[in-house]
Amino acid sequence: MENLNVPQHIAIIMDGNGRWAKNKNLSVKLGHKAGADALKKISRTAYDLGVKYLSVYAFSTENWKRSDSEVKDLMQLFSNYFDALTKNCGKNDLKVKCIGNIFGLPEDLQKKISKIEEMTKDKDGMNFIIAINYGAHDEILRAVKNICNQVLTNKFLPSQLTEDFFASFLDTKNIPNPDLLIRTAGEMRLSNFLLWQLAYSEFYFSDKFWPDFSEQDLLDAIKNFSARKRRFGTR
Ligand code: FPP
């Protein structure tokens, strides 16, 4: 496509499943199901456009505060989603990685995550990064604890800590920072998503609820991004 500067890395906060369902008099569970269907479609489009990294916020460290039944339904949805990714992984070259506090998830989900990550580790197509039980504060704290332990055991000195070295302790180690962040459903906040990594990203907000976010909406976001001038603090 002409003049389209496709971002290397797109991050998405998929918001609005609940409101989408409420507007249609449907259960929140069906809203999340529709959200998962939208994700399948959008990840395919991103892949077709040549996006190299797609990161999506599936479940935050704060989402445990939702009702037991909503949390249970989401875990079941994730479980089914990982099954489908595993089943289809022979047919595509997606490299799947989960970021977040994976050890805080139900054990069967942890196993499914390890399995899909292992099965796709040598793939060289799009990197599909799923943030699950993820919070940037939690990620940064885990990194700091790790670094403190290494300093305590004399692996390196605090003076040797650079930005790049610090970033190598984050869950996103070896993943370039997002170029474009998209958030749906009209909310304009980061909600504890990739706080370190989004320092110089371009932001794009859509009023559409996530289940309604279409291929065309993704293209519109990319067209908008293409017209931006990124300066990274320079003139
Ligand atoms: C926010 O909408 C969405 C979530 C908390 C869950 C995101 C999960 C999906 C999109 C399901 C698919 C993901 C995977 C990886 C299978 P909300 O419920 O907070 O919406 P609301 O603000 O309108 O209530």
Chain segment 191-209, per-residue pLDDT in tens = 999 999 999 999 999 999 9
Nearest ligand 1 atom to alpha carbon 20:
23
Q: Does residue 230 register a pLDDT over 80?
A: no
Q: What is the pTM of this model?
A: 0.96
pLDDT in tens, 5-64: 999 999 999 999 999 999 999 999 999 999 999 999 999 999 999 999 999 999 999 999
In the reported structure, the alpha carbon of residue 12 is separated from the centroid of ligand 1 by a whole-number distance in angstroms of 11
Nearest ligand 1 atom to alpha carbon 28:
18
Which pLDDT value is given to residue 234?
81
Does the domain formed by 9-135+176-226 have CATH 3.40.1180.10? yes
> How far is 169 from 173, CA to CA, in rounded Å?
6
Q: What's the whole-number mean pLDDT along residues 72-89?
A: 97
Task: Exactly one of 63, 177, 192, 224 is catalytic; name it.
Answer: 63
Q: What's the whole-number mean pLDDT along residues 91-103?
A: 96
Please provide the average confidence, as pLDDT, over all residues in the chain. 96
In the reported structure, the alpha carbon of residue 210 is separated from the centroid of ligand 1 by a whole-number distance in angstroms of 8
pLDDT in tens, 211-221: 999 999 999 99
Output DSSP code: residue 104: G
In the reported structure, the alpha carbon of residue 14 is separated from the centroid of ligand 1 by a whole-number distance in angstroms of 6
Which residue has 């994700």 as its token pair? 39
Q: For 3, left (φ over 0), alpha (ψ -120 to 50), or beta?
A: left
Q: Encoding tokens for residue 197?
A: 């990594």
Domain residues of the chain, as ranges?
9-135+176-226
Nearest ligand 1 atom to alpha carbon 19:
23
Concerning whether 15 is annotated as a catalytic residue, the answer is: yes
> How far is 27 from 167, CA to CA, in rounded Å?
40
In the reported structure, the alpha carbon of residue 233 is separated from the centroid of ligand 1 by a whole-number distance in angstroms of 33
Q: What's the whole-number mean pLDDT along residues 166-179?
A: 98
Which residue CA neighbors atom 5 of ligand 1 most closely?
A: 59
Residue 7: closest CA among 57, 53, 56: 53
| 3-class DSSP assignment, residue 20 | helix
